Structure 1
């Protein structure tokens, strides 16, 4: 990192005791935990290779991420290249005058056929006061990875970041914070400790001796990426004082930390061994990510970070988002899992009409399964038992599970056949029967439509002083007359309308009214007569039934805990 302002990592790969006519090098196209081919090699430049005599070696590029170096009669090879690093995300690389951060999948070659060999990595910071944080162990300044998988799973943070050390259940933890904001480290660490304790209780302990949290505080954005012995978190720098934003951050922590069991060790069979060259398909991301999303709602509540009112409000928001996505009736969640590589991370104007997130539906399917098991077993069993059995049978040995094995364990815990449940709600697109599963706990889901807003079916956003229609709902009044995503909204009934004004303007009309909508369609002025439909629910809410009986209230208390404030 001799010139961090250039955003260029300078990488030297040294290979010794080489006995072959060729040295084949490949760079991953994706990184585990982020299911999209990101073509990391597009950031590579100035690739050269030398022998131990400093002779230039011939390099042939065989494919987008594959290079072959002629090494006949040469057993020591030095390869040098640069990687442009200007994307601050949890899955890529970022280098500037303040720090360097990288994921080895986005920076490092692997030697074809030698992925199981040890890899050693040494960091040369640009300044003497820059420190290094990584889950890898250092031996005399060199970090050791037992194989390429371990290297890929070990992010590096290099700079003048703040490091906070703490212990939970006798295990060492570090929080490395880059950036400034309104974070209160000691308060945050106390809450993180609570989350760790709750999650460790589910699985019977912590499967590591040391764990690293890397936190990037930036202007905007957010997200996380899990690793076996660490995680990276990005969050807005001033998102820690507002209580709701703070709680959302702790949900992010709970989510990524839960992954150290679910997906890093309890893995679908397709992810048991990583193929870094191409997509690794599995229909089970609804469990790996969605079930983890359910627990990131529940765990802060169990830890006492927020109460039952907050939990049910958060759950209501998730259900509202789900029921507001027409694609839930088109794409099964198992298909959403399988197609993550081409759909979830590549949203377009029709995505909401044709897709459903395996995070979102997986979360709600897991919620129903938890209620189903709890109701069947009077809260003596729960989804926790599923997680524990998956850990004991697959996680400890890191043996990949099949979809059938996952279903079998859920059925064993529930002690009922779930073939119909899986067919309808995981491999099918039938509506999730929320009230059927909520009723035994004295809860029900109610719709909260705004009767004053008739339904048009478009979403509008202001871009460069133009009102652009970003989304047109399937089968909506707007779609039925031919209004398209990308059209520029101009006026309703001859009067200009903006994205901010649209809702109020619609309140001037009723269902069944015809309105004249003016748009630019590819710069052509068009007008459409649209018949407005009845108002649609804008919000759904999980509430306590007024007539809930003693048994229902008891079930609710045993699910959510008697020491929590009641809804």
Structure 2
């Protein structure tokens, strides 16, 4: 049975523990976490302590999710008193900074509440079934005290329990200690009646905590998680943690993951764990977040070596942090035996199809995509596909090209694995941030070739990726899969409430030249009603180069415009076998994929 909890007193706490939190949730249905922060002056000298003024700052973003989210917007009911209950003055001096007039008080008590009703891996969620929070979205830090230990006590409703990767404080129930603020931010909490499964992998203890009902087989999930752990542990010659926690939220339609040093948060559709393809997609998500233990949590760009929680941290290297990890997530579950070779190549084919149907690849360089993550990737609109490319997606394919380049050049005796291990040894183990130049140098040293031209073309430029040139030595080729004969207008349509709505218009396409915008309602072609269901059949009546009249509503105004149809465009591509593979191609295929060459 859960007992009442109180925040440890300053006398009971370690002398360097300056901040103690108590997180309560007396009315979970209100979606309000109740937070009590006790600030005790540490045994340190300096202006922060001596001035009688203490600033509290709330982060504006959280590592791994590169967008300013303004977590302070969810805070309410802020008040401050001394240890005797006397109210103290405070003022808000910026959007995320509260200034406390501490005077001679040796201990301050801050009360506030946080609204939590957004179920994602990077925010907070509290309802009648559970509580989940990320440190950046719930806790303050005192500038200058970021490296001091922090204690967090949880007062859960009766019958609820707590799961987190933070170590517990001996002898104090539901109380945990973080070595510093970075560690606190990096340690999400799950509080409720979730199921917790303990298992061992690669000689270390692990937990799988599941909130929500779903159709997954827990034994199968744990077995495959264990395979992933062993595969990545073998790559890096061991695990960099003492204990690891998988936090899984099974929701109606959610999807996402966020990496942490000793845990990860996962959100997946509750009924998506039985279908083979959906299950494989989930295991790929698990592999992605687990691989981040090395690539980005410990091995990270110089710009992310020290986190600035108040503003954007710009880097051109997210293509490697996220893109290389996106390549490895599919590669790992194949190497671990969770999927077959056709599944791995089909997954790459789907990503190639997305890439080749993204006109923004000719506009935004990969390095710029990484740099502009803060203002573009997480803030997509109807025009985004025209002027940006995901550093996840293009980074994955550039990583694939580097993998094949290295393997082909060295007869499969070297690979991208060697790059990852080299970077880990040089930068990851010590958590020393690397520069973009150092990353390129490491890849070039493994490849044993100058990569300036490669990086200028495919990282800093917008040339088409010559994927077939890199696949061909392995007996593979990319081919369009649909022999579409329907003339194209360069739009995407969707049915909404019985209407046919234009959702995307490609730049320079016949639809754009005709004055059609996203969110216009399509009505007719040459005077006859069309819909999502019959538009293809209607366009089959025409040939590329013919003119058609398109009737549509634009902001409720009826318009009719002329458009010249263009030739059909492939919507899907597939990696398949070359017609007549040479013995060398077959050997390369077998050396890369670890199985005999066969027709795909």
TM-score of the superposition, structure 1-length normalised? Answer: 0.98
> Which of 125, 128, 147 is the equivalent residue of 1:116?
147
Partner of 1:392: 425
Distance 1:505 1:201 in 2: 56
Distance 2:426 2:210 in 1: 36
The 5 Å alignment of 1:185-204 reads 185-204=218-237
SS at match of 1:537: coil
Give CA-to-partner distance per residue, 1:180-204, whole Å, 9 cap, x none. Answer: 0101100111111111111111111
Partner of 2:380: 347
Task: Give the direction of change, closer, same or farther, for the CA distance of 1:559–1:566 in structure 2 (3 Å limit).
Answer: farther
Partner of 1:3: 27
Instruction: Indicate conservation of the 8 Å contact 1:48/1:80, yes or no.
Output: yes
- The 10-residue stretch of structure 1 (300-309 or 457-466) with the greater mean CA deviation from structure 2: 457-466
Partner of 2:68: 37
SS at match of 1:173: strand
Instruction: Indicate conservation of the 8 Å contact 1:456/1:533, yes or no.
Output: yes
> Which of 20, 39, 64 is the equivalent residue of 1:15?
39
> Which of 315, 334, 338 is the equivalent residue of 2:348?
315
Distance 2:520 2:86 in 1: 59
Partner of 2:434: 401
- The 10-residue stretch of structure 1 (231-240 or 297-306) with the greater mean CA deviation from structure 2: 297-306
Instruction: Indicate conservation of the 8 Å contact 1:309/1:566, yes or no.
Output: no
Give CA-to-partner distance per residue, 1:513-561, whole Å, 9 cap, x none. Answer: 2221111111111001111000111111111112001111111011001
Instruction: Indicate conservation of the 8 Å contact 1:283/1:403, yes or no.
Output: yes
Partner of 1:425: 458
SS at match of 1:530: strand
Partner of 2:57: 26
Matched, 1:283 2:316: yes
Partner of 1:242: 275
Instruction: Indicate conservation of the 8 Å contact 1:29/1:65, yes or no.
Output: yes
Give CA-to-partner distance per residue, 1:444-485, whole Å, 9 cap, x none. Answer: 111234332111111122334332211100111111121111
Matched, 1:412 2:442: no
Distance 2:522 2:87 in 1: 60
Distance 1:145 1:502 in 2: 58
Instruction: Indicate conservation of the 8 Å contact 1:220/1:237, yes or no.
Output: yes
Instruction: Indicate conservation of the 8 Å contact 2:576/2:599, yes or no.
Output: no
Deviation at 1:565, TM superposition (A): 7.7
Matched, 1:132 2:162: yes
Task: Give the direction of change, closer, same or farther, for the CA distance of 1:439–1:45 in structure 2 (3 Å limit).
Answer: same
Matched, 1:359 2:359: no
Instruction: Indicate conservation of the 8 Å contact 1:251/1:297, yes or no.
Output: yes
Deviation at 1:498, TM superposition (A): 2.1
Distance 2:531 2:72 in 1: 42
Instruction: Indicate conservation of the 8 Å contact 1:517/1:527, yes or no.
Output: yes
Instruction: Indicate conservation of the 8 Å contact 1:309/1:565, yes or no.
Output: no
Partner of 1:73: 104
Give CA-to-partner distance per residue, 1:386-405, whole Å, 9 cap, x none. Answer: 00001000000000000000
Matched, 1:256 2:289: yes
Distance 1:33 1:342 in 2: 15
Deviation at 1:58, TM superposition (A): 1.2
Matched, 1:160 2:193: yes
Distance 2:304 2:471 in 1: 34
> Which of 204, 213, 225 is the equivalent residue of 1:171?
204
Give CA-to-partner distance per residue, 1:288-313, whole Å, 9 cap, x none. Answer: 00000000111111111111111111
SS at match of 1:122: strand
Instruction: Indicate conservation of the 8 Å contact 1:441/1:555, yes or no.
Output: yes
- The 10-residue stretch of structure 1 (473-482 or 274-283) with the greater mean CA deviation from structure 2: 473-482
Unaligned regions of 5+ residues in structure 2, if any? 1-24, 43-48
> Which of 529, 544, 548 is the equivalent residue of 1:496?
529
> Which of 82, 85, 89 is the equivalent residue of 1:54?
85
> Which of 513, 521, 534 is the equivalent residue of 1:480?
513
Distance 2:208 2:394 in 1: 31
Partner of 2:125: 94
Instruction: Indicate conservation of the 8 Å contact 2:589/2:597, yes or no.
Output: no
- The 10-residue stretch of structure 1 (53-62 or 326-335) with the greater mean CA deviation from structure 2: 53-62
> Which of 204, 214, 220 is the equivalent residue of 1:181?
214
Deviation at 1:40, TM superposition (A): 0.4
Deviation at 1:126, TM superposition (A): 1.3
The 5 Å alignment of 1:426-445 reads 426-445=459-478
Instruction: Indicate conservation of the 8 Å contact 1:48/1:79, yes or no.
Output: yes
Distance 1:501 1:42 in 2: 46
Distance 1:563 1:123 in 2: 55
Distance 1:275 1:321 in 2: 34
Distance 2:483 2:78 in 1: 60
SS at match of 1:5: helix
Deviation at 1:506, TM superposition (A): 2.2
Partner of 2:595: 562
Task: Give the direction of change, closer, same or farther, for the CA distance of 1:204–1:110 in structure 2 (3 Å limit).
Answer: same
Deviation at 1:383, TM superposition (A): 0.2
Instruction: Indicate conservation of the 8 Å contact 2:125/2:132, yes or no.
Output: yes
Instruction: Indicate conservation of the 8 Å contact 1:222/1:234, yes or no.
Output: yes
Partner of 1:511: 544
SS at match of 2:348: helix
SS at match of 1:100: strand
Deviation at 1:286, TM superposition (A): 0.2
Distance 1:212 1:185 in 2: 15
Task: Give the direction of change, closer, same or farther, for the CA distance of 1:564–1:58 in structure 2 (3 Å limit).
Answer: farther
